[in-house]
Each structure stands twice: as C-alpha cells, then as structure tokens.
Amino acid sequence: MNQRNFNIFTWTVLLVSILIPFYVWGNYVGWEIFDVSLYQLFPLFGLLAWMIMCTHYFTGAVRIKTGLKKSKYYGGATGALVLAFLLLHPGILAYAQHDNGFGTPPESFVDYYGEALILAGMLGTISLLIFLSFEIFDRLKNNKVINKYWILVSISQSLAMTFIFVHGLQLGTNLKSGWFIYIWLLYGLALIPCFYIIHKLDFENIQKNR
C-alpha cells in the first residue's frame, strides 16, 4: 500500500464509520431528525464517538505495519469531533434528566437506565474519564515521566474502548435489534488485532529506551 491508497483508505473508513451510525439512528427516529427529543438525540453521539475512535485504531495499525504517514488533517479533524461527541453524549442526557426533574448525575443516570444496568452505565463514565485524561497526557507526552510510562496511557485507552463496546451492547437502543449489532460486533473484533499491533510496538519502544 502506498501513501495515496492509505489516504483513500483512511478517509473512506472514516466516512463509513460516520454514515453507518447516522443512518441507523435516522431510521430509529423515523428521519424526523429536526423534531427529536433529547433522549432520542444523545445516543447518536455515543455511536459516532466510538466508531470514529475505532478508525484511529484501524488506521494506526495499518500505519505501523506499512510505515506510512498519518493522513493530513485526519488527526486534528477526528480528534475534535471525538472530543465534542464524548462530551455531548452524556451531557445531553444529563441536561434532559435535570430538565425533567431527575436531578444530576450520577443519580439521574441511574434513574434513566435502572439499577440493573448500573455496571454498564459505570463503564461509560469510567471510559469517559479515561478518554479525557488522554487529552491531558497527550499534551504532556514530552515529560520524562509521562513518556516513560506512556504504555500505560496507551493500554488505558484500549481498555476504555473495550468498556464502551460492552456499554453500547448493554445500553444502546440502536443495538437492540437489526443488522447494526453485527457491525458493532465486527468493529469490536477488528479492534483485537489492532490492540496487539499497537501495544506490541509500545513494548518494543520500552525495550529500545532501556
């Protein structure tokens, strides 16, 4: 694969990973996209955030194996989108619950999905904190201590991706029926070799720096 083909692959995977969840969500709300409730709106951003983050792993693994460069503008554009969607997903639900008299998180979240699914809900909260911590660690990457233990930051992100995978299966209204669940499972399975490739490089870098 050359750089041009990799760029095409990168943007194609990203486009597909945006269009699929939007199409599924659009069907879910009957394409009344300008007349939806906050409760109908917030799931879309969770789907988009996770699937876009999956493309980071897919393209990152390919780059490691091929030695190609990251596509121009891809990192900045997707990073901004993911951060916005990560905040909008729980933020909209928190606002809707508060507006309807259910108080504030975490109690209002438990009222929404029920105590039986509290673990799945907690996985979402933990993952959000891990993802947000990356925004801090990434800006401190040149710090000697952070750089030395970067593998822990890297593994924590993969762990958060796994938590969200389970969170979506347990709570995702768009994953309860239809073909989209198979797409979700396919993306989850595709992450496994990506985790291996990326963290294998992490360990190799540790060995080199010793």
pLDDT by residue (tens digit) across 121-147? 999 999 999 999 988 888 887 888 888
Q: How many domains does the chain have?
A: 1
pLDDT of the residue at 185: 95
Question: For residue 194, with 0-12 CB atoms within 10 Å meaning exposed, 13-18 middle and 19 or more buried, which class applies?
Answer: buried
Nearby residues of 139 by Cβ (< 8 Å), 6 or more positions away: none
Tokens of 202: 């992490």
Q: What is the pLDDT of residue 209?
A: 66
pTM beyond cutoff 0.75: yes
Extract the residue ranges of the chain whose pLDDT is less than 70. 177, 209-210
- pLDDT computed for residue 23 by the predictor: 94
Q: b or e along 123-132 (b: 16 or more beta carbons within 10 Å of the residue's beta carbon)?
A: bbeebbebbe
Q: What whole-number distance in Å separates Cα of residue 124 and Cα of residue 114?
A: 14
Q: Domain of residue 70: give its range.
A: 3-209
Residues 173 and 28 sit within 8 Å (Cβ to Cβ)? yes
**Can you give the pLDDT at residue 142?**
80
Q: What tokens appear for 120 in the block?
A: 């799945």
Q: How far apart are CA 57 and CA 54, in angstroms?
A: 5
The predicted structure's pLDDT at residue 1: 81
pLDDT given for residue 63 in this prediction: 94
pLDDT of residue 180: 92
